[in-house]
């Protein structure tokens, strides 16, 4: 019952927020109470193993819900991020419908976590997609309609594949429950698996299905992107787990090549999206590609399919929720003040928005996977898991992807916060409370879990241990794989100590005075105060030359080519029925010609 009550709380809050839409204060208070209440209720009332609270039987088909430890794990991420999104979103100019949609998308996401059968899974999944589509539609960009349309089309593509898979499964196993299908004969089980995996690949924007993501992430409202990228994409990760472990438990035995393909798709996604990311000039587009890239690692973790690679994947999903949301939140705060996402138009904001700078700094450190932040443990585990699986090319590809992370991270932080302050930004203040609150809250897990990964690895291990042979030894602060051993806080402590030492060296010697902005080495030439010293445009422009032509290839072009072929064929078909007189004349002549040709032999 507890689960339904939770869904009820979320849904009712959404409705109330809609009804109270015009009264801003009341609406905000209600939605805040709803979100906090939901989170507290989830944390205290819902336990793993609370299964089958409701069993409906219609036409011999069971519908059911249940809780697993995995659902709890993802539920906390979702509800926590939702709260952060909500508090920041009060600063934006939103109407009641916006809050209703966002609450309903949360409801859909939570429903997916609770579902025990494929039909309700599909239903909640669609609810989530639909309402997040409506929110993207309300976004602030001029292209938001197009992006939203793209988003819903891709979601629909995934959803129908899922539905097809569900029907196939029901047809062969006579059950809609999420049960094992690996005992089925023939190749049908493979098709079911691929069909069931598709919507999750769309949701986590794996490479051939990623086309919706940059647009939807860029054009949705800034604060909602925090939830969309950090939170809702986690449903895709949850889906991977369901499809690869619950629906098809014998995949490593039956289709090892499929896992390999999956892992390689993940690694290629991570690398290519990383390359696309550092070529972007729009802050949110850059982050969108970075998000795609980071979720590629998760796919690699599942594809490698060993105990601690899956642990790494789930840990990385959590890490992604933390650091990617942090980055999106900072960019949202910057947008709130500067009204731009264009990296070429910002710069030097560090002096004006120090807290946001700190947030972004540690966000990019975690994104790049530098210890002692949350990005490091998962990457470390992932590398070792891949080496243990004897795939040195895969690990090289993943490493390449992690280098691209340095590139786009630096571009982001430099273009926004470093460099020269623009004239029109001289009177900017720090981002308001809602954004600052989210930044501070997200920084806590960033460090705590980076130095004490055991806190989260323990429950994850408890989940994964059930399916795969455990080969990872860990406690709160240490982890030992068959290849190596790391003590995470030791890295942090060493760095802190050495930082103190270097800082003391820095303090002892010489005085330094603050130079004015225009006091810069410009080959000793005098420059005006608002001379454009900021290097923002064409950052990494030379990489276009280094990559050469392949950079211009994209899946979009392939799809556009397909579109051309289809419309060409359509044009021919249309001409067949509705052509002008000359065409008909041509048909008649052709007809006679054929008749003459056929008859010709007899004549």
- 98 Cβ contact list (under 8 Å, min separation 6): 89, 135, 138, 221
The token pair at 256 is 């090892």
Of residues 12-71, those binding another protein (CB under 8 A) = none
Q: Which of 296, 295, 240 lies closest to 464, judged by CA?
A: 240
Q: Which stretch binds another protein (CB under 8 A): 122-130, 134-142, 511-519, 551-559?
A: 511-519
Of residues 351-370, those binding another protein (CB under 8 A) = 351, 357, 361, 365, 368-370
Q: Is position 385 an interface residue for another protein (rule: CB under 8 A)?
A: no
Q: Which stretch binds another protein (CB under 8 A): 28-36, 59-67, 531-539, 554-562?
A: 531-539
Q: Are 147 and 139 in contact (CB under 8 A)?
A: yes
Of residues 101-120, those binding another protein (CB under 8 A) = none
**183, 499, 555, 586: which one contacts another protein (CB under 8 A)?**
499
Distance, in Å, from the CA atom of 545 to the CA atom of 378, rounded to the nearest integer, reads 33
Other beta carbons within 10 Å of 406? 16
Question: Secondary structure of 268-314 in the HEC alphabet?
Answer: HHHHHHHHHHHCCCEHHHHHHHHHHHHHHHHHHHHHHCCHHHHHHHH
**542, 578, 602, 603: which one contacts another protein (CB under 8 A)?**
542
Q: Which stretch binds another protein (CB under 8 A): 96-104, 147-155, 293-301, 522-530?
A: 522-530
**487, 489, 530, 579: which one contacts another protein (CB under 8 A)?**
487
Residue closer to another protein, measured from CB, 325 or 402: 402
Residue closer to another protein, measured from CB, 24 or 420: 420
Residue closer to another protein, measured from CB, 57 or 511: 511
Residue 377 CB, shortest distance to another protein, in Å, is 11
Residue 447 CB, shortest distance to another protein, in Å, is 15
Residue for token pair 């609450």: 103
The token pair at 567 is 């419309």
Residue 549 CB, shortest distance to another protein, in Å, is 13
Residue 515 CB, shortest distance to another protein, in Å, is 4
Q: How far is CA 504 from the centre of its chain?
A: 41
Residue closer to another protein, measured from CB, 165 or 348: 348
Q: Is position 526 an interface residue for another protein (rule: CB under 8 A)?
A: yes
Residue closer to another protein, measured from CB, 89 or 367: 367
Residue 548 CB, shortest distance to another protein, in Å, is 8
Residue closer to another protein, measured from CB, 59 or 509: 509
Sign of the CA dihedral running 440, 441, 446, 450:
positive
Q: Which stretch binds another protein (CB under 8 A): 13-21, 91-99, 325-333, 532-540?
A: 532-540
Residue 260 CB, shortest distance to another protein, in Å, is 15
Q: Which stretch binds another protein (CB under 8 A): 64-72, 153-161, 204-212, 385-393?
A: 385-393
Q: Which stretch binds another protein (CB under 8 A): 92-100, 346-354, 436-444, 574-582?
A: 346-354
Q: Is position 539 an interface residue for another protein (rule: CB under 8 A)?
A: yes
Distance, in Å, from the CA atom of 590 to the CA atom of 603, rounded to the nearest integer, reads 19
Residue closer to another protein, measured from CB, 138 or 411: 411
Residue closer to another protein, measured from CB, 46 or 385: 385
Q: How far is CA 370 from the centre of its chain?
A: 20
Residue closer to another protein, measured from CB, 1 or 546: 546
Residue closer to another protein, measured from CB, 72 or 313: 313
Residue 478 CB, shortest distance to another protein, in Å, is 10
Residue 367 CB, shortest distance to another protein, in Å, is 12
Kindly determine how many residues on this chain lie close enough to bind another protein according to the rule CB under 8 A: 80
Q: Which of 497, 455, 444 lies closest to 479, judged by CA?
A: 455
Distance, in Å, from the CA atom of 576 to the CA atom of 563, rounded to the nearest integer, reads 20
Of residues 394-433, those binding another protein (CB under 8 A) = 395-396, 399-400, 403-404, 406-407, 410-411, 413-414, 418-421
Residue 381 CB, shortest distance to another protein, in Å, is 10
DSSP string for residues in 38-79 = HHHHHHHH--TT---S-EEEETTEEEEB---HHHHHHHHHHH
- 325 Cβ contact list (under 8 Å, min separation 6): 81, 84, 226, 227, 229, 230, 231, 438, 442
DSSP string for residues in 389-429 = TT-HHHHHHHHHHHHHHHHHHHHHHHHHHSSPPPGGGTT--
Q: Which of 496, 501, 539, 67 lies closest to 282, judged by CA?
A: 539
**1, 25, 516, 599: which one contacts another protein (CB under 8 A)?**
516
- 130 Cβ contact list (under 8 Å, min separation 6): 108, 152
Distance, in Å, from the CA atom of 5 to the CA atom of 461, rounded to the nearest integer, reads 29
Report residue 559: phi and psi, to 5°. -65, -40
The token pair at 413 is 């932080």
Q: Is position 348 an interface residue for another protein (rule: CB under 8 A)?
A: yes
Q: Are 345 and 247 in contact (CB under 8 A)?
A: no
């Amino acid at each position: 019952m507890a689960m339904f009550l939770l869904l009820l709380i979320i849904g009712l809050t959404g409705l109330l927020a809609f009804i109270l839409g015009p009264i801003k204060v009341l609406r905000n208070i209600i939605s805040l109470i709803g979100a906090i209440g939901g989170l507290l209720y989830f944390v205290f009332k819902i336990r793993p193993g609370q299964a089958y609270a409701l069993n409906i039987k219609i036409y011999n088909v069971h519908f059911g819900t249940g809780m697993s430890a995995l659902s709890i794990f993802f539920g906390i991420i979702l509800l926590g991020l939702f709260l952060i999104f909500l508090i920041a979103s009060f600063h934006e100019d939103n109407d009641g419908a916006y809050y209703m949609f966002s609450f309903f998308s949360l409801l859909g996401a939570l429903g997916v976590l609770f579902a025990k059968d494929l039909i309700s899974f599909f239903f909640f999944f669609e609810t989530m997609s639909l309402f997040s589509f409506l929110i993207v539609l309300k976004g602030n960009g001029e292209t938001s309609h197009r992006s939203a349309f793209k988003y819903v089309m891709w979601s629909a593509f995934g959803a129908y594949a899922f539905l097809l898979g569900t029907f196939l499964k029901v047809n062969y196993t006579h059950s809609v429950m999420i049960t094992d299908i690996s005992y089925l004969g023939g190749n049908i089980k493979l098709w079911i698996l691929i069909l069931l995996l598709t919507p999750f690949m769309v949701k986590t924007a794996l490479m051939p299905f990623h086309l919706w993501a940059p647009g939807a992430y860029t054009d949705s409202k800034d604060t909602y992107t925090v939830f969309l990228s950090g939170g809702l994409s986690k449903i895709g990760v949850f889906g991977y787990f369901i499809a690869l472990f619950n629906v098809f438990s014998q995949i490593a035995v039956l289709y090892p090549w499929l896992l390999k393909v999956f892992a390689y798709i993940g690694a290629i996604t991570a690398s290519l999206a990383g390359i696309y990311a550092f070529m972007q000039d729009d802050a949110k587009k850059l982050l969108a590609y970075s998000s795609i890239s980071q979720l590629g690692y998760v796919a690699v973790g599942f594809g490698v399919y060993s105990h601690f690679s899956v642990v790494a994947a789930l840990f990385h999903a959590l890490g992604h929720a933390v650091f990617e949301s942090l980055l999106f939140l900072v960019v949202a705060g910057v947008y709130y003040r500067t009204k731009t996402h264009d990296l070429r138009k910002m710069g030097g904001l560090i002096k004006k928005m120090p807290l946001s700078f700190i947030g972004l700094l540690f966000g990019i450190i975690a994104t790049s996977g530098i210890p002692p932040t949350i990005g490091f443990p998962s990457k470390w585990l992932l590398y070792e898991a891949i080496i243990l699986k004897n795939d040195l090319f895969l690990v090289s590809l993943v490493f390449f992807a992690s280098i691209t992370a340095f590139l786009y991270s630096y571009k982001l932080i430099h273009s926004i916060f470093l460099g020269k302050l623009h004239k029109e930004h001289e009177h900017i203040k720090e981002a308001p409370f809602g954004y600052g609150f989210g930044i501070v809250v997200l920084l806590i897990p960033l460090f705590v879990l980076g130095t004490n990964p055991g806190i989260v690895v323990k429950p994850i291990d408890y989940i994964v241990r059930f399916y795969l042979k455990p080969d990872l030894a860990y406690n709160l602060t240490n982890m030992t794989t068959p290849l190596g051993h790391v003590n995470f806080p030791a890295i942090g402590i060493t760095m802190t100590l050495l930082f103190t030492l270097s800082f003391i060296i820095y303090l002892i010697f010489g005085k330094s005075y603050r130079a004015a902005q225009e006091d810069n080495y410009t080959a000793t030439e005098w420059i005006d105060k608002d001379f454009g010293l900021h290097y923002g445009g064409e950052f990494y422009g030379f990489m276009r030359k280094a990559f050469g032509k392949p950079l211009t290839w994209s899946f979009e072009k392939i799809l556009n080519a397909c579109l051309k072929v289809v419309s060409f064929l359509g044009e021919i078909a249309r001409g067949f029925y509705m052509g002008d007189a000359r065409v008909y004349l041509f048909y008649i002549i052709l007809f006679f010609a054929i008749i003459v040709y056929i008859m010709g032999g007899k004549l």
